[in-house]
Amino acid sequence: MKILLIAGGWSSEREVSLTGARGMQEALVRRGHAVTFFDLLEHFDDLLETARQHDFALINLHGSPGEDGLVQAMLEKADCPYQGSGPSGSFLALNKAAAKQIFRMAGLPTADWEFLPVRPAAGWEPRLPWPLFVKSTTGGSSLRLGRAANRQELDAIMDEIFAAGEGVLIEPQLPGREITCGILGEEAMPPILIEPVAGDYFDYESKYAAGGARELCPAPVSPAVTAEVQRLALAAHKALGLKGYSRADFILGPGDSLHLLEVNTLPGMTPTSLVPQEAAQLGMDFGQLLEKLIELGMEQHAKA
């Protein structure tokens, strides 16, 4: 199959995207596919014409463009099948403030929040209790994310986010550990419990530095907690209108309480990333997982 592997882009997660895509290319070539590596930053103006020359597009973009649905919408114009969710679901999942409204409406447990699309007026004070987690509304990979114990720390994090032209989402710190669960097709996979080593929350260094976190798969939790994480992950996937695959992140708190943080429509895709680890528990190696995503994407394209 002639596969267009779309990576890079111009978001703050460009390097993460490029690194993951190189591993995807190697796995696909080993399985006999002809792969065109397409850096969106360098070749955006050629996307439609190039897509028309391929059987399928695999998107490995993080942030915007990519997770915002733009590339998916363009591929549809070129009548080129691709993996994962369409433009609408992608856009809603990427915008954390929009997604949290949808979670609430669907009855899914998520922390209270405050959304600041622009810098607040003088005299503004957060209405949530300290300490606070502060993040970009549309960022990923834990970039431009921090914890603030006081107003000075809060202002410093918000200044960085507003300077990047992004909105701010504020949430209270929730006690507990992070647990994540992937969806493949219409089935939830085995969850992973994440224990940061260097810090006490899953920041950029914990995600990408060697030994930055322990990722325990399957998660060493009770069958009841496993089942509830899987139920909520699938419910969030459906509430956002997602297709193919996704990964939902939660905080597992005292008394086995669960709070949904966000849903990723283009989760990390290296052999050691979270979703591939979960797929391995189902007997799927990295190449087989990529081919399963292609199969699901082709099925979705045929239905459309």
Per-residue pLDDT tens over the stretch 72-124:
999 999 999 999 999 999 999 999 999 999 999 999 999 999 999 999 999 99
The CATH number for 58's domain is 3.40.50.20
Q: Does the annotation mark 273 as catalytic?
A: yes
Residues 163 and 192 in one domain: no
Extract the annotated binding site for Mg(2+). 249, 262, 264
List, in sequence order, the alpha helices (H) in the chain: 14-30, 40-43, 47-51, 70-77, 87-94, 96-105, 151-163, 204-208, 223-239, 274-281, 286-303
Q: Which of 12, 141, 206, 246 is catalytic?
A: 141
Position 75 scores a pLDDT of 98
Q: Which of 12, 136, 273, 278 is catalytic?
A: 273
Q: Per the structure, how many domains does the chain have?
A: 3
The CATH number for 152's domain is 3.30.1490.20
Residues 186 and 243 in one domain: yes
Domain span including residue 15: 2-82
Q: Does the annotation mark 13 as catalytic?
A: yes
Extract the annotated binding site. 249, 262, 264
Residues 161 and 191 in one domain: no
Q: Which of 11, 13, 67, 246 is catalytic?
A: 13
pLDDT in tens, 149-178: 999 999 999 999 999 999 999 999 999 999
Last residue of a domain, one of 130, 148, 172: 172
97-98-100-104 Cα dihedral, nearest 10 degrees: 140
